């Protein structure tokens, strides 16, 4: 038998030229992707990923076809011991006849109350670091304009309230995974306008 001829080793695997056949990547299913998203959510709540980073990795997880692709998403998170973060107390912010533009990396406590009176506010949650799987964002708007930018893969629930208050919502039609962090936005006030939009949605006109 020549070197190039096919032979069979003790395990029954066919060899050609003495080389073992390449390993076949194991296909991933929906349950595997959901578990990967849950692990990414846990890392986000621990402060290891921002909401934007979480969103980017979720998009890759939903497109993943193999277990190897899913494992790559958390390769830099595995085996790293992170001390538990102290839970931040509820925070409250007043914006009266002024402007607030909150972006970049900033801690978002589980309960955050925003009070706006004739002011303009932009809350960009892309680099925000959440501390709980569910965050309550209370927006009390009196004759002001509030824009809240949320990464695509983060779940959003809106509880409408207030008199003569306008909520303009531009979020993706595709629902984020059930295990994604939840931002529950509760609106109240009078005569104001709240823009709640995804990061990829066009900015509202001033």
Q: For the chain, give the percent of residues with pLDDT over 90.
A: 67
Residue among 157, 140, 148 at smallest CA distance from 192:
140
Helix intervals (H) in the chain: 30-45, 51-63, 67-73
What pLDDT is attached to residue 28? 86
Indicate whether 15 pLDDT > 70.
Answer: no
| Confidence (pLDDT) at 78 | 75
User: What is the DSSP pairing of strand 111-117 with strand 91-96?
Assistant: parallel
pLDDT digit string, tens, across residues 66-124: 999 999 998 888 765 555 556 667 899 999 999 999 999 999 999 999 999 999 999 99
Residue 19 lies in a domain: no
Please check the confidence at residue 18 and state whether its pLDDT lies above 60.
no
- Average confidence (pLDDT) over 43-58: 94
SS (H, E, C) 45-69: HCCCCCHHHHHHHHHHHHHCCEHHH
Mean predicted lDDT score pLDDT of the chain:
86
DSSP β-bridge partners for residue 189: 141
Q: Tell me the percentage of the chain whose pLDDT exceeds 70.
A: 81
pLDDT for 204 equals 74
SS3 40: helix
The answer to whether residue 202 scores a pLDDT higher than 80 is no
pTM to 2 decimal places: 0.80
- Pick the closest to residue 44 from 135, 113, 114 (CA basis): 135
164 in a structural domain: yes
pLDDT in tens, 122-171: 999 999 999 999 999 999 999 999 999 999 999 999 999 889 999 999 99
125 within some domain: yes
What residues make up the domain containing 151?
91-198
- Structure tokens belonging to residue 182: 């939840």
- 74 in a structural domain: no
pLDDT at res. 77? 86
pLDDT band at 45 (very low <50, low <70, confident <90, very high): very high
> 63 in a domain, yes or no?
no
3-state secondary structure of 87: coil
pLDDT of residue 99: 97
pLDDT band at 12 (very low <50, low <70, confident <90, very high): very low
Tell me how many domains the chain contains.
1
Q: Report how far Cα 173 is from the mean position of its chain's Cα atoms.
A: 16
């Amino acid at each position: 038998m020549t070197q190039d001829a096919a032979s069979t080793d003790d395990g029954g695997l066919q060899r050609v030229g003495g080389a073992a056949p390449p390993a076949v990547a194991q296909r991933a299913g929906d349950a595997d992707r959901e578990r990967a998203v849950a692990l990414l959510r846990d890392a986000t709540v621990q402060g290891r990923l921002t909401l934007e980073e979480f969103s980017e990795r979720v998009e890759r997880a939903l497109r993943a076809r193999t277990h190897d692709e899913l494992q790559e998403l958390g390769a830099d998170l595995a085996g790293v011991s992170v001390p538990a973060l102290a839970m931040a107390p509820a925070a409250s912010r007043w914006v009266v006849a002024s402007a607030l533009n909150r972006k970049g990396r900033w801690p978002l406590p589980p309960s955050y109350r925003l009070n706006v009176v004739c002011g303009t506010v932009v809350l960009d949650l892309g680099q925000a670091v959440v501390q709980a799987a569910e965050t309550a964002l209370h927006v009390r708007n009196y004759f002001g304009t509030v824009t809240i930018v949320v990464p695509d893969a983060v779940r959003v629930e809106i509880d409408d309230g207030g008199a003569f208050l306008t909520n303009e919502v531009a979020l993706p039609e595709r629902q984020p995974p059930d295990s994604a962090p939840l931002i529950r936005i509760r609106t109240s006030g009078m005569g104001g306008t709240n823009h709640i939009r995804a990061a990829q949605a066009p900015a509202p006109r001033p």
